[in-house]
Homo-oligomer: A and B are copies of this chain.
Amino acid sequence: MKHYDVIIIGGGPSGIIAGVTGKKQNSDKSFLMIKEEAKGLVPCGIPYVFHDLDDVSKNAMGPQPFVDAGGEVLVDTVGTVDLKAKTVTTITGNEFSYTKLIFATGSIPTIPTFIKGYDLKGVEYVKKSYNYIEQLKTRTDAAKNIIVIGAGFIGVEIAEQLAKYKEKCVSLVEMEKHCLYRAFSQDFAAKADTEVKAAGVHLYTETKVEEIVGKDGKVAGVRLSNGKTLDADIVISSVGYKPNTELAKKSGLELNSHGAIRVDNYQRTDTKDVYAVGDCSATRGFITGRADNIMLASTATAEARVLGYNLFCIKVLRNFTGTLSVFSTEINHKAFASAGAIEQAAEEADIKYVVGKFADVDRHPATIADTYPLEVKLIANPENGEIIGGELYGGKGVGEMINIIALAIQKAITVYEFVSFQFGTHPLLTTAPTKYVLVKAAEMAIAQINNCKKQSK
Contact = CB atoms under 8 A, between A and B. Distances in A.
A426 B328 contact: yes
Contacts of A406: 421-424
Contacts of A96: none
Interface stretch (A114-122, A214-222, A312-320): A312-320
Given A52-B368, A299-B422, A407 B413 contact: yes
Given A42-B365, A305-B439, A417-B319, A330 B429 contact: yes
A434 B13 contact: yes
Contact of A434 (B301, B368, B420): B301
B319 A432 contact: no
Given A420-B320, A422-B326, A433 B300 contact: yes
A434 B339 contact: no
A406 B404 CA distance: 9
A373 interface: no
A48 interface: yes
Contacts of A335: 428-429
B422 A298 contact: yes
A365 B434 CA distance: 36
B45 A365 contact: yes
A429 B329 CA distance: 7
Contact of A42 (B339, B364, B429): B364
B52 A422 contact: no
A61 B432 CA distance: 11
A319 B425 contact: no
Given A299-B422, A306-B420, A428 B330 contact: yes
B421 A410 contact: yes
Contacts of A298: 422-425, 433, 436
Q: For chain A, which range describes its interface: under 10, 10 to 19, 20 to 34, or 35 or more residues? A: 35 or more
Contacts of A326: 422-424
Contacts of A181: none
Given A399-B397, A407-B413, A419 B368 contact: no
A379 to B, nearest CB: 16
A59 interface: yes
Interface in A386-435: 396-404, 406-408, 410-411, 413, 416-417, 419-430, 432-434
A368 to B, nearest CB: 6
A53 interface: yes
A413 B404 CA distance: 13
A404 B339 CA distance: 14
Given A58-B365, A319-B416, A330-B429, A424 B402 contact: yes
Contact of A319 (B368, B403, B420, B443): B420
A323 interface: yes
Contacts of A422: 298-299, 302, 320, 323-324, 326, 406, 410
B424 A399 contact: yes
Contact of A297 (B21, B397, B434): B434
Contact of A429 (B328, B419, B439): B328
B306 A419 contact: yes
Lowest 8 A-B CB distances belong to which pairs?
A399-B429, A326-B424, A58-B367, A297-B433, A298-B433, A400-B400, A328-B426, A330-B428
14 contacts: A44-B364, A48-B368, A48-B427, A53-B368, A302-B420, A302-B423, A316-B419, A319-B421, A320-B421, A320-B422, A328-B430, A397-B399, A399-B426, A399-B428
Given A52-B368, A301-B439, 5 more contacts: A42-B365, A306-B420, A327-B424, A337-B429, A400-B404
